[in-house]
Amino acid sequence: MSKTDDNLKIAFADESQTNIEYLAYAQKAIDEGYVEVAQLFREAAGAEVVHALTHLKVMDVVKSTRENLREAAEGESLEIMSMYPKFIEEAEGEGRKEASESFRIAFEREKHHRDMFRQALKRMSA
């Protein structure tokens, strides 16, 4: 893996993360009555999506829909099998109730995502 491949991964993660943060900032701005500031955050959030998608295109990770379904199901599986159970356990061990609850909500939903993707894949193969 080259330096540029690594950098693409980092930039993609950063842009994706920034998108969500800006959406959350926009919501906060609305809650505080700063509608125009909310608009700035929403606009920038949209641009970050374009940046992330452009990086993703260069990274060549978007394949055929059949392959994407397989990849997505695997990713969800990984979250269900190893990531979230470990995170929930560690959060509970540290007495971080709010974090463990957040992990648990996602964990439960990922099962649904995985099954949806698997079913779509099955229908495609039928």
Listing DSSP states for 18-37 in one string gives HHHHHHHHHHHHHHTT-HHH
Contact segment (CB under 5 A) with Fe ion among 50-58, 59-67, 95-103, 117-125 equals: 50-58
Tokens of 104: 């648990």
State whether the Cα torsion 7-22-102-107 is positive or negative.
Answer: negative
Residue 111 has which token pair? 């099962």
Closest CA relative to residue 115, chosen from 74, 73, 67: 73
Give the interface segment with Fe ion, choosing from 3-11, 31-39, 45-53, 54-62 (CB under 5 A): 45-53
Choosing from 34, 113, 116, 118, the residue that interacts with Fe ion (CB under 5 A) is 113
Among 51, 96, 104, 118, binds Fe ion (CB under 5 A): 51
On the CB side of 100, CA atoms within 13 Å amount to: 12
Q: Give the separation between CA 54 and CA 23, rounded to whole angstroms.
A: 20
Residue window 11-30: x/- pattern of binding to Fe ion, with contact defined by CB under 5 A: ----x---------------
Nearer to Fe ion, 7 or 94 (CB): 7
- Site for Fe ion, residues 93 to 112, rule: CB under 5 A: 110
Interaction between residue 118 and Fe ion (CB under 5 A):
no
Residue of the chain from 25, 48, 55, 117 that contacts Fe ion (CB under 5 A): 48
Could you tell me the end-to-end alpha-carbon distance of the chain, in angstroms, rounded to an integer? 37
Number of residues that bind Fe ion (CB under 5 A): 5
Q: Which residues bind Fe ion (CB under 5 A)?
A: 15, 48, 51, 110, 113
